[in-house]
Structure formats: C-alpha cells, structure tokens
C-alpha cells in the first residue's frame, strides 16, 4: 500500500509510510508469529497500563496524590459509564470494559508521540477487538435470555405488515455493529495521523518563509488528535456498554 502511494506521490515520502508494519524478530511456529513494530507497541501499551495502575495504587493512601487520583479517576470513569448504561448487572463485566478502554486509550496516546507506531491505526487490530465484543455480547445475550434474545430484532408497536422488513433491517444493523465499531476507531486514527503527516509535509515544502501557517495548524491538529484519541477510546467503551445493555435488558 505504501509503495503504491509513493508512486503516486509528488515529492517526499508518502504520508501512509508511517503505517508500515516492519518485522523485527522472525518467529515462525508454522504460522507467522514475528515480533513487529506493531506488537512491540502493543506490549508497551500493556506494560504502560500496568505500571500506571499498579504503581499508582501502590501507596493506597486515603487522600490520593496526583498519580493515585488519576488511576482512581480512570476507574471511576469506566465504572460510572457501566453503571449509567448497563446498571448493576454490568458490574461483572467491568474488568473487560476497563481493560478495553485503557488498552485503546494507551495505544492511541502512545501513537501521538513522534516516531512511534499507532497500533489502533490498523483495521486488523480494531476488528479483532470489535469481534470479541460482538461475539461476547451475542453469547452473553443467548445465555441470559435464551431464545428470547431474538426479541431484540422485533421492535414493539409496529404494524404487522411492516414487521418482516423491520426485522430484516434490525438484523442487518446488528450484524454491521462490529464493522462500524472497528472502522470508526481505525479510520479516525489513520485519518488523523495521515493529516498530521500531510500538513507536516506542507511545513517542509513551504520552508522558513511560508511554513509558519501550516506549522500553527499542525500544533492545533495535534491538540485535536489528543482529544480524538481519548474520545475514540471513550466511544468504543461506551458502545460496548450499550451493546452489553442490549444483552441484559431485551425490551425493544
């Protein structure tokens, strides 16, 4: 993908070059399990979250310091989100949603550091996360409600002759959930980083005279991207909560 873009490009490297996955350590178990720059940054994110939570809560002080209150705030944020959207039944799934939120947040934020790799800018990664949510919600829904989970597809209070069409639409919209969930995160990350690179290219090509305007724009965009990095992690987590709510309370 990147080489094709370089053929099209007019001067300078392609803005898509930053998404290239490079194999660093070759490992082959009959399938390709090499350590790439992508998997390195996933590990960095996991280690980062672990350090953030474990070291932050190590003191366990009654009056928290700065670090501890950040850790408590992130816990309270996700717990409140789950409480508002799913209710008390959702408490069991708090660890899952919290892990999801923190992993995506750290991947997005680490990607904002120059010369790093944004793990979530690849659809494989986000689709795997979304597929876990989708399959998990479907399985939980069928376990808790049995065959009654299918009532999710039957909206109440519609004329009987419209029902087949609406059930079909509801079913299709249910099936597109993992796609929209994953494409939203991936496209936001990819578009943002491509845009930063494109405007960075403007700074270089306009030089010392005209480069200040795009430079100011890049600075503003970086702020926006940090907001988006948080917002997309939030949206992913809150949609997971909303989907979980469907599995617990099937009244349409």
Partner 1 sequence: MEADAAKLIGAGLATIALAGVGVGIGNIFGSFVSGALRNPAAAPKVFGNVLLGFALTEAIALFALVIAMLLLFVF
Backbone angles phi, psi at 24, to 5 degrees: -100, -45
**Least distance to partner 1, CB of residue 147, Å:** 31
Size of the site for partner 1 (CB under 8 A): 15
| DSSP conformational letter for 117 | -
Of 180 and 205, the one with the shorter C-beta distance to partner 1 is: 180
* Spatial contact of 181 and 232, defined as CB atoms under 8 Å apart: no
Of 70 and 183, the one with the shorter C-beta distance to partner 1 is: 183
- Piece of 32-40, 107-115, 165-173, 233-241 that binds partner 1 (CB under 8 A): 233-241
Of 153 and 234, the one with the shorter C-beta distance to partner 1 is: 234
- Piece of 17-25, 32-40, 87-95, 186-194 that binds partner 1 (CB under 8 A): 186-194
Instruction: Name residues contacting partner 1, limited to 6-35 (CB under 8 A).
Output: 8
Residue 47's Cβ-side half-sphere holds a number of Cα atoms within 13 Å equal to: 7
Among 94, 184, 202, 217, binds partner 1 (CB under 8 A): 184
235 binds partner 1 (CB under 8 A): yes
**Least distance to partner 1, CB of residue 181, Å:** 9
- Piece of 1-9, 68-76, 136-144, 161-169 that binds partner 1 (CB under 8 A): 1-9
Pinpoint the alpha helices (H) of the chain: 2-8, 37-56, 66-85, 94-111, 123-145, 163-175, 177-210, 212-248
Helix (H, G, I), strand (E, B) or coil at 23: strand
Query: Distances in Å between the alpha carbon of 64 and those of 59, 60, 61, 68, 77?
Result: 9, 7, 5, 5, 16
Quickly tell me which residue has 């991936």 as its tokens: 186
231 binds partner 1 (CB under 8 A): yes
d(CA 31, CA 29): 5
* Spatial contact of 50 and 43, defined as CB atoms under 8 Å apart: no
| DSSP conformational letter for 86 | T
Among 120, 232, 240, 245, binds partner 1 (CB under 8 A): 232
**Least distance to partner 1, CB of residue 16, Å:** 8
Among 89, 112, 167, 187, binds partner 1 (CB under 8 A): 187
234 binds partner 1 (CB under 8 A): yes
- The residues, any chain, with a CB within 8 Å of residue 4's CB and separated by 6 or more, are none
**Least distance to partner 1, CB of residue 76, Å:** 14
d(CA 111, CA 207): 26
Binding mask 191-230 for partner 1 (x = CB under 8 A): x---------------------------------------
């Amino acid at each position: 993908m990147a080489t094709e873009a370089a053929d099209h490009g007019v001067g300078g490297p392609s803005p898509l070059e930053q998404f290239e996955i490079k194999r660093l350590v070759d490992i082959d178990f009959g399938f390709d399990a090499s350590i790439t720059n992508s998997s390195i940054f996933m590990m960095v994110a996991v280690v980062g979250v672990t350090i953030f939570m474990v070291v932050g809560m190590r003191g366990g002080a009654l009056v928290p310091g700065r670090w501890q209150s950040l850790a408590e705030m992130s816990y309270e944020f996700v717990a409140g989100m789950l409480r508002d959207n799913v209710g008390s039944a959702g408490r069991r799934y708090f660890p899952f949603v919290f892990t999801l939120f923190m992993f995506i947040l750290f991947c997005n934020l680490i990607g904002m550091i120059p010369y790093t790799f944004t793990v979530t800018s690849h659809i494989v990664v986000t689709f795997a996360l979304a597929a876990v949510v989708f399959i998990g919600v479907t399985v939980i829904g069928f376990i808790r409600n049995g065959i009654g989970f299918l009532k999710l597809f039957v909206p109440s209070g519609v004329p009987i002759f419209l029902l087949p069409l609406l059930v079909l639409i509801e079913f299709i919209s249910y099936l597109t959930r993992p796609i929209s969930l994953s494409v939203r995160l991936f496209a936001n990350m990819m578009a943002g980083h491509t845009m930063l690179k494109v405007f960075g290219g403007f700074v270089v090509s306009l030089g010392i005279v005209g480069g200040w305007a795009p430079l100011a724009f890049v600075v503003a965009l970086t702020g926006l991207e940090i907001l988006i990095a948080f917002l997309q992690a939030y949206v992913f987590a809150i949609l997971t909560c909303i989907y979980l709510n469907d599995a617990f309370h099937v009244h349409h």
